[in-house]
Structure 1
Amino acid sequence: MGIFDWKHWVVILIVVVLVFGTKKLKNVGSDLGETIKGFRKAMNEDEAKPDEQATKSQTQTPLNQHNTIDAQAQKVEEPARKD
């Protein structure tokens, strides 16, 4: 079956446990979990910040200030009429 045989994975797991020890593997697992939680928290904070900044900028903008809209005009061709 090659590398995907379950017997190979058991042997690799036993070698890893013998080399590193269970205590060190436990610490690596908990550190990895904390890293993933921190990453998720940072991603959620980044998504929330632009909404808060947009709300603040809308309330701080004076009402008499003109805004510019950047757009490109396109020619629309109307179909020929048959009268």
Structure 2
Amino acid sequence: MGSLSIWHWVIVLVVVLLLFGRGKISDLMGDVAKGIKSFKKGLADDEDQDKPAASGSTETAEPRPLPHQATKSAEAEKKPV
């Protein structure tokens, strides 16, 4: 009742191949590989964009309120009197 034997896995593999076929499985794995490559490229692009902004500016920027948090009173506080 514990783990599955090799024969269980062979039967599962045969059933999966019969249901999906070789073509669909290889297409699916290709799509997974493309998704992983795209994810890694996106992470690399984010790191490249963050580096110049951090090293180029030595001043600290004032935090901006989010659009849904901006109110007229917050705008009035910023204006010198």
Tell me the TM-score normalized by structure 2.
Answer: 0.61
Shift of 1:23: 0.6
Shift of 1:49: 1.4
Identity %: 35
Aligned to 1:57: 57
In structure 1, the gaps of 5 or more residues are: 62-66, 68-83
Separation in 2 of the partners of 1:54 and 1:4?
53
Matched, 1:6 2:6: yes
Q: Give the alignment's Cα RMSD to 1 decimal.
A: 2.0
Aligned amino acid, residue 38 of structure 1: S
Separation in 1 of the partners of 2:33 and 2:49?
25
Q: Which has the larger radius of gyration?
A: 1
Aligned to 1:21: 21
Separation in 2 of the partners of 1:57 and 1:4?
59
Matched, 1:47 2:47: yes
Shift of 1:53: 1.3
Q: 1:46 to 1:19 in 2, by over 3 A?
A: same
Aligned to 1:76: none
Separation in 2 of the partners of 1:38 and 1:57?
30
> Secondary structure of the equivalent of 1:21?
helix
| Greater than 4 Å deviation, 4+ residue runs | none
Tell me the TM-score normalized by structure 1.
Answer: 0.60
